[in-house]
Amino acid sequence: MKITVIGTGYVGLVSGACLADVGNDVLCLDLDAEKIRILEAGGMPIHEPGLLDIVRANVAAGRLRFTTDVERAVAHGTIQFIAVGTPPDEDGSADLQYVLAAARNIGRHMTDYKVVVDKSTVPVGTGDQVRQAIAAALAARGADVPYAVVSNPEFLKEGAAIDDFMRPDRIVVGADDERAIQLMRALYAPFQRNHERLVVMDIRSAELTKYAANAMLATRISFMNELANLAEKLGADIEMVRQGIGADPRIGYHFLYPGCGYGGSCFPKDVQALRRTARDAAGVELRVLAAVEAANEAQKHVLIRKIQARFGADLAGRRFALWGLAFKPNTDDMREAPSRYLIADLLAAGASVVAHDPVAMDEARRIHGAEPRLAYAATPQEALAGADALVIVTEWKVFRSPDFAAMKQALRQPVVFDGRNLYDPGEMRARGFEYLPIGRAQG
């Protein structure tokens, strides 16, 4: 099947590569000429495990190509995926300018039947706007060409996106055109040979499903963070609580890990956008999500509160080793990452920071620029040298089983603030560390 993917960001590139990998003829469009140059040269503009190998293999096989030519891209695919960014506006709503520009371009150039698929995360009602944008572009040409609009939201986890696409839990398709539904069934047939995973619904329900999924996951995280903070006050152990409630099959263990707040490109943006949609489209305030957002904003400062409680409000002359910059492991994405808030808090209090992350240090340099009190270490151990304490912000596997004796020797004081609860408090105390995790025994 011939497919066009508009946008070669995280969602577009993963989707295009995976669709090509099962035999489709995929053309990816991006107006960023530099990004297309990198891809055509065999490079990769984003970090996602396994993606580079799939892209290179399918480019070599002739099933995956890249272009900046809009007319060529529209002519190519019967199915046109819109996978462009929807960044938040200042008021928290999703900015649809790139989605609607893509829709207008399709309307300007299409000459035969197209299925236009919203893959980007968009507010409820965007399908109607896309349909209207295409209709207006066709009317301006005096053309009458059939088309269908479909909502097919992505459910990809950064760091595990290839597996998520190839082995999906569910494939949500929002559509009201039977021909389009059959094309989507055929497109996704290779990904559901074991059992039916495709769920067909109306477009608005599909759009809301994506926001609801991310809002639910964000809610679980903030709930556990609130409980962790309470557990500290009450002398309880949040890890024991997690195991106790997770054993209930109605609750389960997923997304019950407390920490220093959620970040990334999805949860913060989507919670804000869903709240804004509720207010603007329905006059409703989603009070639970308001609390989720407020709790998360507060949790991003939980580590500085612990650090200042231990070392005092004035951290001038103090040096802190920071392990982890990305918002989660297996990505270099630092959008809304807790590390950004912690670095800002530490610098504002007068401290200096030496950070290490397996893949996100270039992104950190781009974000923070030439900050004289922020340095980067080539290895986790190098970051520890002469530091007053270690602060763990991202749960990379490489941090899970370090050389504790070398760690203790390198630190000026054997103090560890653990924002991801990687270690056992009793074992850390037995090794001679002062260990301060989230929601567990301190000391």
Cβ density class 101-140: b for 16+ within 10 Å, e for less: bbbbbbbbbbeeebbbbbbbbbbbbbbebbbebbeebbee
SS3 assignment, position 109? helix
- Work out the number of other CB atoms within 10 angstroms of the CB of residue 6: 31
CA distance from start to end of the chain: 60
- Spatial separation of the C-alpha atoms in residues 46 and 53, rounded to whole Å: 13
Write the DSSP symbol of residue 156: P
CB-side exposure of 148: number of CA atoms within 13 Å?
Answer: 20
SS3 assignment, position 229? helix
Residue whose structure tokens are 């938040």: 88
The DSSP annotation for 175-226 comes to -S-HHHHHHHHHHHGGG-SSS--EEEE-HHHHHHHHHHHHHHHHHHHHHHHH
- Spatial separation of the C-alpha atoms in residues 120 and 117, rounded to whole Å: 9
Going edge to edge, which strands form the sheet with 319-323?
374-376, 352-356, 319-323, 389-392, 415-418, 434-436
Tokens of 225: 């963070």
Cβ density class 61-74: b for 16+ within 10 Å, e for less: eebbbbbeebeebb
- Spatial separation of the C-alpha atoms in residues 285 and 161, rounded to whole Å: 33
- Spatial separation of the C-alpha atoms in residues 356 and 95, rounded to whole Å: 33
Tokens of 169: 């839990």
Confirm whether 18 is a catalytic residue.
Answer: no
Q: Single out the residue of 401, 390, 376 nearest to residue 303, CA to CA.
A: 390
Q: Single out the residue of 210, 217, 155 nearest to residue 188, CA to CA.
A: 155
Angle (deg, nearest 10), helices 51-60 and 10-21: 50
For residues 94 and 123, the answer to whether their CB atoms sit within 8 Å is yes
Residue from 18, 28, 260, 266 carrying the catalytic annotation: 266
Residues marked active site are found at 266
